[in-house]
């Protein structure tokens, strides 16, 4: 007997990549950072655990102030949340009454939130080369897309986004920059000239804090104040005090974070060229994952073969990209093992 309200009976929840239980698994399926958090983060978490009897700071100043500085904006331009997924949920809940427009192939949570909040959502097909063309986004709906996009890995130039924002001053344009630190397409430097642009970011991918759950949005003080209206109507303690301490320590460890990002980019470029030697078509990813297909082997076969060898990657059983797989970039050693197993797949080496 289900007691769930009728209006939610039809929900299809988001399906996260599997979290590995066995030690020996090489986990390349959820775009986590393969490197551990900086030592300062571990120490900050321990220290913060000693005051868990107190509520966390609802203004999250410990993170908001250094994060604003890191982004080159003022604290009133920044809000933090329990992962960027929570920020995205506020955006879908409160800023899309005229409907939502997003690409047909993008982050899988957008259609889930559209359903949850019962929005009118239109999906706009990517071009044949899997890129986003903002010319296709006419209308009055709120626009949201990931840049670089997932799972394609491809980014569009922030100047194109700025032109679009300027031509559509009455629409909120939301750019999900979960992978922004691995590429060079961030719109953050242009926010001050475009009050209808909002950038969403996360500490999960480039800052080693996926399990800490810390995300943010940066934009005009008005949009941030409206987001805070929703946040304080829902859960003013949405970011716990250990996570706030970890976020502050991460921002104070910028050299370590950037060194890890650079290693990931180097490994990504190496893996991409090795895969291309094996006839894989690999997009020019600006993220911490690769998106690829092979002319002779299906995506499902690659996914299943690697899984049997305890290497977890992602395969989306979705039209247009059913032959592709997405492989997160792990350490160089993990990717060398992954490549060796890929070479064993029948049909890869002709």
Contact string (CB under 6 A) for ligand PLP, positions 158-177, x = contact: ------------------x-
C-beta of 62 vs 85, nearer to ligand PLP = 85
Measured distance CA(149)–CA(279) in Å, rounded:
23
C-beta of 111 vs 345, nearer to ligand PLP = 111
113, 116, 249: which is closest to 174 by C-alpha? 113
Which residues make beta-bridge pairs with 199? 175, 218
Q: How far is the CB of 210 from ligand PLP (least distance, A)?
A: 6
C-beta of 33 vs 84, nearer to ligand PLP = 84
C-beta of 89 vs 267, nearer to ligand PLP = 89
231, 258, 286: which is closest to 78 by C-alpha? 231
SS3 (DSSP) at 19:
coil
Note the helical H segments in 27-121: 39-49, 61-71, 83-94, 109-116
Stretch that binds ligand PLP, among 41-49, 81-89, 119-127, 219-227 (CB under 6 A): 81-89
C-beta of 90 vs 107, nearer to ligand PLP = 107
Figure out which of the listed residues 60, 66, 73, 85 binds ligand PLP, where binding follows CB under 6 A: 85
Residue 150 binds ligand PLP (CB under 6 A): yes
Stretch that binds ligand PLP, among 51-59, 77-85, 156-164, 296-304 (CB under 6 A): 77-85
C-beta of 33 vs 301, nearer to ligand PLP = 33
Which residues make beta-bridge pairs with 145? 175
User: Scanning residues 276 to 305, which ones bind ligand PLP (CB under 6 A)?
Assistant: none
What is the token pair recorded at 255?
A: 């050299």
Q: How far is the CB of 150 from ligand PLP (least distance, A)?
A: 4
Cβ-based burial of 65 (10 A; exposed 0-12, middle 13-18, buried ≥19): middle
Stretch that binds ligand PLP, among 7-15, 80-88, 187-195, 304-312 (CB under 6 A): 80-88
Residue 224 binds ligand PLP (CB under 6 A): no
C-beta of 142 vs 202, nearer to ligand PLP = 202
Residue 83 binds ligand PLP (CB under 6 A): yes
Sheet of 142-146, strands arranged across: 78-81, 215-218, 197-202, 173-176, 142-146, 100-103, 121-124
Figure out which of the listed residues 92, 95, 102, 107 binds ligand PLP, where binding follows CB under 6 A: 107
C-beta of 203 vs 280, nearer to ligand PLP = 203
144, 131, 133, 140: which is closest to 85 by C-alpha? 144
Phi, psi of 198 (to 5 degrees): -135, 130
User: Scanning residues 184 to 223, which ones bind ligand PLP (CB under 6 A)?
Assistant: 202, 204, 210, 215
Give one DSSP letter per residue of 299-346, joined into a string: HHHHHHHHHHTTEE-B----TTSTT-EEEE---HHHHHHHHHHHHHST
Measured distance CA(63)–CA(54) in Å, rounded:
17
Measured distance CA(16)–CA(82) in Å, rounded:
16
Phi, psi of 18 (to 5 degrees): -65, 135
Sheet of 289-293, strands arranged across: 281-282, 289-293, 325-328
Residue whose C-beta lies closest to ligand PLP? 83
C-beta of 79 vs 345, nearer to ligand PLP = 79
Stretch that binds ligand PLP, among 11-19, 79-87, 124-132, 181-189 (CB under 6 A): 79-87
Q: How far is the CB of 315 from ligand PLP (least distance, A)?
A: 16
**Residues of this chain that bind ligand PLP (CB under 6 A):** 31, 83-85, 107, 146, 150, 176, 178, 202, 204, 210, 215
């Amino acid at each position: 007997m289900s007691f769930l309200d009728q209006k939610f009976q039809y929900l299809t929840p988001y399906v996260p990549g599997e979290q590995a239980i066995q030690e020996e698994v090489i986990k390349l399926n959820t775009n986590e950072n393969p490197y551990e958090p900086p030592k300062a983060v571990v120490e900050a978490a321990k220290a913060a655990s000693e005051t868990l009897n107190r509520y966390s700071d609802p203004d999250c100043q410990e993170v908001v102030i250094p994060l604003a500085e890191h982004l080159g904006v003022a604290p009133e331009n920044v809000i933090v949340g329990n992962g960027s997924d929570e920020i995205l949920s506020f955006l879908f809940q409160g800023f899309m009454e005229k409907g939502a427009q997003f690409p047909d192939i993008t982050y899988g949570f957008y259609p889930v939130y559209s359903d949850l909040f019962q929005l009118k959502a239109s999906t706009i097909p990517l071009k044949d080369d899997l890129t986003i063309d903002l010319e296709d986004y006419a209308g009055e709906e709120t626009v949201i897309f990931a840049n670089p996009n997932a799972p394609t890995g491809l980014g569009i130039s922030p100047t194109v986004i700025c032109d679009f924002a300027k031509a559509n001053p009455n629409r909120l344009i939301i750019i999900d920059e979960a992978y922004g630190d691995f590429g060079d397409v961030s719109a953050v430097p242009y926010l001050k000239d475009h009050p209808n642009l909002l950038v969403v970011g996360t500490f999960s991918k480039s800052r080693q804090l996926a399990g800490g759950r810390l995300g943010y949005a940066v934009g005009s003080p008005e949009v941030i104040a409206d987001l805070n209206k929703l946040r304080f109507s829902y859960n003013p303690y949405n970011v716990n005090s250990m996570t706030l301490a970890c976020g502050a320590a991460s921002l104070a460890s910028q050299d370590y974070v950037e060194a890890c990002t650079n290693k990931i980019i180097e490994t990504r470029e190496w893996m991409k060229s090795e895969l291309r030697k094996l006839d894989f078509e690999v997009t020019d990813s600006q993220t911490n994952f690769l998106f690829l297909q092979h002319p002779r082997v299906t995506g499902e076969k690659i996914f299943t073969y690697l899984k049997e060898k305890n290497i977890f990657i992602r395969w989306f059983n979705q039209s247009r990209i059913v032959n592709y797989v997405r492989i997160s970039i792990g350490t160089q050693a993990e990717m060398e093992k992954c490549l060796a197993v890929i070479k064993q797949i029948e049909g890869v080496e002709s």
